[in-house]
Structure 1
Amino acid sequence: MSRCLYCHTDYAIHLTWESLFNLHSDNGLCQNCDEQLQEIKGEICNICGRSFSLFPEQYRQDNMCHDCIRWEEDENWHGVLARNRSLYVYNSHMQEMLSKYKYRGDAELAKVFHQKVRTLYKKEFRRHFLVPIPLSEERHLERGFNQSLLITNGVAHVHSVLVRTSHEEKQSKKSRAERMNISGRLFSAIMDVSQKDVLLVDDVYTTGSTIRQAAKELLEAGASSVSSITLAR
């Protein structure tokens, strides 16, 4: 028997041909909790990775969503983010799981995502330079860990390229307009990344503001391109 990392109920691991040959491994969740996570599948926006099946057709233009079109039409942000790929839809279950992980200090929940992050990294970003999004010193002391760093455990060697230069109000408390209204510098690059394809790692892609601010600093530090992996979109 195993204990679910989220709801803490005991569950049995069902043996299948996949599990016997290590093609599928236990992610630490019981069947009920696992089934409530909604994987992103099918057609997605070329840039942000958002599933086209989750919003009306009029908010899509060719292979891009309207959010990304607006970013790309802005001369300050055009081409800053090559692509984001997310594992899950940010539904109510994922929202509650990440809230428990980040704000209630349940660092063990990072283990739920390790296998899928490793698989995605090896499939699409194998040669990329791995950079977790940093927290401000204040936020790090408050939480006791960096949730983005824990996500990368066992994926590849990570590089502390960025530092947080300002302490912001939590993104979860901001409106959409406030998140997209960027002023000042949020990050600073402390390491040369010339000619490197960089992969940022964070927990959630909402408007893409945080990821793009980090990407812009990395491009100015010489990066050839910047992409990202996030747990949820």
Structure 2
Amino acid sequence: MKPIKEIASWQSFFGLEKKKTLCEDCSKRFVRADIKEEGDVLDSVHSLYEYDDAMRDWLHQYKFLQDVALAQVFADELRRSFSNNETIVPIPMHPERARLRTFSHVETLLDEAKRPYIQLLEKTNTGVMGEKSKQERLEMENLFELVPGAVVHPITYRLVDDIYTTGTTLRHAATVLKQAGAARVEAVTLIRSIQK
């Protein structure tokens, strides 16, 4: 990583210019995917970036080495992937995993993107999806339940997660929301991993 060179402007003088979080060379390392699919229980999913070496490094540094400041890197792109009136539901972590990690990576991405969200789901097991094979993921029992007292309206909900691999996590979450009365469940993920 190199220091970011900034050129003085009238916006920077008055504190109106947004600080860059990545230099131009580093930002070019991330490959835009813009994969959009329609499905069954998960009505549609939009993934913004490919899961390549650059994204693997970023995700590891952000999620596992707890470099929370890296949530700023994709804040603008994530913000632009939503309309202003969407009901956003982040994919939650199990409370035990959240305590160990010290922050919720998906909620932090949404906070940096300045997108309001509601927490309707609770994760019911501590299993880590990244440690499971494709077959193990597909065979998992439902991963979520509604937060006690949560009310699901007959509207469209937009799930948000960091990475889409097999889609199991998102389909399980969509199933819970639809069984509770959601009219439609869509999703946005920052990253799309294509498993071979």
Provide TM-score, normalisation by structure 1. Answer: 0.72
The alignment partner of 2:125 has SS state of: coil
**66, 91, 95: which one aligns with 1:133:** 91
What is the letter of the counterpart of residue 23 of structure 2?
C
Aligned to 2:37: 46
Which has a greater percent of strand? 2
Whether contact under 8 Å (2:37, 2:46) holds in the other structure is no
SS at 1:207's partner residue? coil
| Inter-partner Cα distance in structure 2 for 1:147 and 1:164 | 14
- Tell me, yes or no, if the aligned pair for 1:27 and 1:111 is still in contact at 8 Å: no
Q: 1:160 maps to which residue? A: 119
1:98 aligns with 2:59: yes
Looking at structure 2, the residues matched to 104 and 155 of structure 1 have their Cα atoms a distance apart, in angstroms, of 23
Whole-angstrom distance in 1 between the partners of 2:8 and 2:23: 14
CA distance in 2, matches of 1:111, 1:14: 20
Aligned length: 183
Counterpart amino acid of 2:85?
Answer: R
Q: Which runs of 5+ in 2 are unaligned?
A: 10-16
The Cα shift of 1:13 comes to: 3.5
Paired residue type of 2:153: S
Equivalence map 1:21-170=2 (5 Å): 27-41=20-34, 44-47=35-38, 79-122=40-83, 126-153=84-111, 154-168=113-127, 170=128
TM-score (norm 2): 0.85
Gaps of 5+ in 1: 1-6, 17-23, 48-71, 73-78
Deviation at 1:120, TM superposition (A): 1.0
Relative to 1, partners in 2 of residues 1:80 and 1:155: Cα closer, same or farther, differing over 3 Å?
farther
The verdict on how the C-alpha distance between 1:15 and 1:121 changes in structure 2, with shifts beyond 3 A counting, is: farther
CA distance in 1, matches of 2:73, 2:117: 19
Query: CA 1:12–1:137 in structure 2 vs 1: closer, same or farther (change >3 Å)?
Result: same
Match of 2:14 in 1: none
* Structure 1 residues 26 and 119: CA distance shift in structure 2, 3 A: farther
Q: Kindly tell me: are residues 26 and 207 of structure 1, through their superposed partners in 2, closer, same or farther at Cα, counting changes over 3 Å?
A: farther
CA offsets, 1:31-69, max 9 Å, x none?
Answer: 22111100115xx4532xxxxxxxxxxxxxxxxxxxxxx
Q: Measure the CA separation in 2 of the matches of 1:164 and 1:10.
A: 39
Deviations 1:54-90 (A, max 9, x none): xxxxxxxxxxxxxxxxxx6xxxxxx210111111001
Other-structure match for 1:3: none
Alignment correspondent of 2:13: none
* Contact 2:36/2:46 (8 A) holds in 1: no
CA 1:115–1:105 in structure 2 vs 1: closer, same or farther (change >3 Å)?
same
Give the distance between the partners of 2:6 and 2:43, measured in 1 at CA. 39
Query: Hey, what does 2:145 align to over in structure 1?
Result: 188
Identity of aligned residues (%): 31
Distance 2:8 2:50 in 1: 28
